[in-house]
Structure 1
Amino acid sequence: MRKMVTAVLASSVLATGVLAGCSSRTDSSEGAAGGTVTLNVWAMGEEAKSLPQLADKFTQENPNIKINVQALPWDTAHDKLITAVASKKGPDVLQLGTTWIPEFASANALMDLKAELGSYPEFAESNFYPGAVATTRQGDAVVGVPWYIDTRVLYYRKDLLQSVGYNEAPKTWEELSDAAKKLAARGNGSYGLSIDTKEQSLAFMFARQNGSKLIDNNKPLFNQPEFVQAVEYLNSFFQDGSAPKDLGMDIVPAFQKGIAPMFISGPWMIKLINDQAPDIKDKWATAVLPKKENNTSSLGGSNLSVFQHTEHKEEALKFIAYMSKPATQLEWLKLSNTLPSTKKAWEDPSLTNDPNYKVIGEQLNASEPMPLIKPFEEIAQSYLKSFENIYRANANVQTEMDAFNKKAEQILSK
């Protein structure tokens, strides 16, 4: 996280009242028979701008509850949430990226919903993918409900892979490396695999595929063979020239032109490729990640949580239950192009009949969130600096991982 919640809580007196206008509120008629309740919902990113359409449908079914949606840009949302925690005045329902859950749960900003789960069939654990459920747990507490999810899969140019002898996507680490080398051998500025060096989950994902636990009983394992070998594997693509250190262009045109015929990314790329590169419609596909010991991917997305200081818990839970219905999630898919968290929604033909979304649904069965601990983002950012020393400056991998592991120990001991 860019800032720790606790640092701001120390100056909570200054923050008190800043968000008074955003706190839970009631209409003047509330408390009387037939009165209404207004729920404030904070949601993040561009997709949140479509949420009022679903909120209107909820209100039609629940005329005594009004929904006030505030869409927050991701780059300012974190700081605004910190201020809300400090002032104890914020939304009733809030969207949180899965990596933000540990920080705000540890600050006691999120209501424990464990006692409420049995009252809402929509919240049943069996409704969701196990990895998504894990993101809502903090110790014994249940601090959210999965809303939408994403994972990482392999995007590849079918035609170009066929030209180097691969009639299907690489299925193992060895095949991925071999295919990338052969694709790069085409010359003329071509590469085999584009690796996003700013993707902080990538190395941890590959390390898990190699058997690493990452962190065990608060002890980092980043200088152990399983993790070091994964970093060496990723670095090998840069060292043999099959991955560019600086691509110099966006991934979609590079994919379209065949400069970078393979890359790993999330489901949002499907629409971007279809919209920006329609001429290669039949020339590309997605595949589950190649396997070492396993092919575990990272699981991300967002959850819906109830703000600890809400005055409208029951109405907030009712709204989240509505958002968790498979039919609502499929409507949200149409509006925002974000993928449903409920397994039942994934049985819909709009997903099962699309080969790319079908792949993502398959990969979700082998996807896990990043470690659900408050300092993980700081650890991940530290890793990116270490990896840059490796792939740019040819630093020794083991030496660099020893230093990174020591830094992680310091972060975890804070």
Structure 2
Amino acid sequence: MASSTLPRRKLALGAALTLAAPAVQAQSPVTITFRFNDPEAPQMRAALDEFERANPSIRVTMQRVSWADAQQQFLREAAVGGTPDVAQLAFVWPRSFAAAGALRPLDDFVRRGIGLQGWDDFLSRDLALGADSKIYAVPWTTDTFAMYYNKDLLAQAGITSFPTDWEGLRAASQGAQQRTGKPGWAFPAGSCGTPSVWFFLNYFWWSKGPGLIDRDGDTRFRISMTAADIQEGLEYYDRYLREGHNPRSSLSICLWGAPEVVEGLVSGDIAIASLPDPVAIDVATKWRQRNGDRPVPFASAPHPAGPNGSRTHLGGRMLGIGAASRRPEEAWRLIEFLCRPEPTFTRHYTNYTLAQIAALPMRNWTPDLMGFPAQLRTARSWGAYNAGPVPIPFMWNATGRAAGSVFIGEKTAAQAARELHEAITREFARNQR
């Protein structure tokens, strides 16, 4: 009996282990990937660690790619079915990524609820939509440019309050240079593929009313600006260079956060800049490192207003789920977690602002940054620029070349404006359906 019982016991034990194995396997954590492109990798890893502690069944592998390479790499991966589960995207990428089949639609998840006060509280929701009107990403962080200036330099020039109209800003810039010998608004005036002057020209144009491309109903678009409107903006910025309070050396600087701009502010050699808040934070941080506990001399204010108010763009990042993700539920759980202020934005990723209206006053804005939340409330989405028939890169590059040709004296503002208007009109006619 004993010899016949032992094999049966072994078989029974083996069967029990075999039956139990799937249950044990099901409890093992699953791993998802998160593609993160911003420089704050250690801070984001700390936030992901908190997510893992709150969700022990999920592990997150953080992948790092530079912003310069992120767009093309994601599209290459999508072509072979290898996208990350969750990806950080620029605000204007979801529409084209959706058209390429690179992102999973999120409508089913969004209906469950997201953020502090639901989907309608998110900024730039229109940029999250594909051409099929489905939701392909969630606006995550937002930023915009505000005027960031040295109060001491302006005070030396007799300017005690920051100007609120465009001519006042030009006069303050000129006055700062004449009375202190330092440049006023030394905006980057150089031409490159993505020049800063593109933003500054649009802020000027939008404050007056129309944009280069505007909506004409729900699905159609129109070119709202005339060549004369474009010319007015080109002439406005050219005056800074002709009058000398933006030095000719700025023609060699293209990007708003260039070291020359940051160092010029930190060292007190520039009176005024236009920057997104992460760059302003970098300026203040570097100033404190050199000057100890002295109060920072900087303040911020919205850009000048025109008949249409003070208008800048809503920039920022979105989060999307790759079309190839095999773990969309877990990916969505990570997105939900990252879209709450606590703990990601209160403890770790503190230089950024959640792209939700209810979150704007929750950020701990230092006194020198108070112009940024004010500017965010009047900023506008790229909207028709992003959805319209003329691609943003085309307009961005063409606008930069037009401005550059005026700044170096190659063309008159009238000639450059006419040619820019004609170029956009041709591209519009070619692509409008």
TM-score class normalised by the smaller sequence: 0.7 to 0.9
Aligned partners of 2:153 and 2:180 also within 8 Å: no
Q: 1:269 aligns with which of 273, 276, 279?
A: 279
Q: Sort the Cα spacing of 1:166 and 1:214 in 2 relative to 1 into closer, same or farther, 3 A.
A: same
**Per the alignment, in what secondary structure is the counterpart of residue 393 of structure 1?**
coil
Q: How does 1:246-261 map to 2 (within 5 A)?
A: 246-247=249-250, 250-261=260-271
1:380 corresponds to 2:411: no
1:58 corresponds to 2:48: no
**Per the alignment, in what secondary structure is the counterpart of residue 79 of structure 2?**
helix
Give the CA deviation at 1:363: 1.0
Give the CA deviation at 1:394: 4.9
Tell me which residue corresponds to 2:352.
Answer: 338
Identity over the aligned pairs, expressed in percent?
Answer: 20
Q: Sort the Cα spacing of 1:211 and 1:225 in 2 relative to 1 into closer, same or farther, 3 A.
A: farther
Q: 2:368 aligns with which of 350, 356, 375?
A: 356
Give the CA deviation at 1:410: 4.1
Q: Sort the Cα spacing of 1:201 and 1:138 in 2 relative to 1 into closer, same or farther, 3 A.
A: farther
**Per the alignment, in what secondary structure is the counterpart of residue 159 of structure 1?**
helix
Tell me which residue corresponds to 1:166.
Answer: 159
Give the CA deviation at 1:126: 3.7
**Per the alignment, in what secondary structure is the counterpart of residue 148 of structure 2?**
strand
Structure 2 counterpart of 1:340, one-letter code: L
CA RMSD of the aligned region, Å?
2.5
Tell me which residue corresponds to 1:309.
Answer: 324
Aligned partners of 1:245 and 1:392 also within 8 Å: no
Q: How does 1:386-405 map to 2 (within 5 A)?
A: 386-405=402-421
Tell me which residue corresponds to 2:4.
Answer: none
Aligned partners of 1:221 and 1:405 also within 8 Å: no
**Cα distance in 2, alignment partners of residues 239 and 133 from structure 1:** 41
Give the CA deviation at 1:287: 0.8
Q: Sort the Cα spacing of 1:31 and 1:344 in 2 relative to 1 into closer, same or farther, 3 A.
A: farther
**Per the alignment, in what secondary structure is the counterpart of residue 36 of structure 2?**
strand
Q: 2:64 aligns with which of 47, 63, 71?
A: 71
Give the CA deviation at 1:52: 2.0
Tell me which residue corresponds to 1:5.
Answer: none
1:367 corresponds to 2:367: no
Aligned partners of 2:114 and 2:339 also within 8 Å: no
Q: How does 1:7-406 map to 2 (within 5 A)?
A: 32-122=25-115, 124-129=118-123, 132-139=124-131, 140-186=133-179, 188=181, 190-197=182-189, 198-199=195-196, 200-216=198-214, 217-221=220-224, 223-247=226-250, 250-278=260-288, 279=291, 281-293=295-307, 294-331=309-346, 334-335=348-349, 337-348=351-362, 350-351=364-365, 354-370=366-382, 371-373=385-387, 375-406=391-422
Structure 2 counterpart of 1:289, one-letter code: H
**Cα distance in 2, alignment partners of residues 205 and 31 from structure 1:** 59
Give the CA deviation at 1:391: 0.8
Q: Sort the Cα spacing of 1:58 and 1:187 in 2 relative to 1 into closer, same or farther, 3 A.
A: closer
**Per the alignment, in what secondary structure is the counterpart of residue 67 of structure 1?**
strand
Q: Sort the Cα spacing of 1:138 and 1:48 in 2 relative to 1 into closer, same or farther, 3 A.
A: farther
Give the CA deviation at 1:222: 5.2
Instruction: Please say which structure displays the higher CA radius of gyration.
Output: 2
**Cα distance in 1, alignment partners of residues 229 and 23 from structure 2:** 59
Give the CA deviation at 1:386: 1.4
CA offset digits 1:221-276 (Å, max 9, x no partner): 45443333222212221122121232477123322444320111110123222222
Structure 1 counterpart of 2:261, one-letter code: I
Structure 2 counterpart of 1:395, one-letter code: K
**Cα distance in 2, alignment partners of residues 228 and 30 from structure 1:** 70
Structure 2 counterpart of 1:292, one-letter code: G
The gaps in structure 1 that reach 5 residues or longer are 1-27
Give the CA deviation at 1:186: 2.8
**Per the alignment, in what secondary structure is the counterpart of residue 196 of structure 1?**
coil
CA offset digits 1:61-118 (Å, max 9, x no partner): 1111111110111122122112112112111111101132332122121222123212
Q: Sort the Cα spacing of 1:328 and 1:136 in 2 relative to 1 into closer, same or farther, 3 A.
A: farther
Q: TM-score, normalised by structure 1?
A: 0.84
The gaps in structure 2 that reach 5 residues or longer are 1-20, 190-194, 215-219, 253-258
**Per the alignment, in what secondary structure is the counterpart of residue 160 of structure 2?**
coil
Deviates more, 1:274-283 or 1:155-164: 274-283
**Cα distance in 2, alignment partners of residues 377 and 29 from structure 1:** 52
Moved over 4 A (4+): 28-32
**Cα distance in 2, alignment partners of residues 196 and 372 from structure 1:** 24
CA offset digits 1:164-209 (Å, max 9, x no partner): 2321111111210111111121364x22111123213221222111
Give the CA deviation at 1:366: 0.8
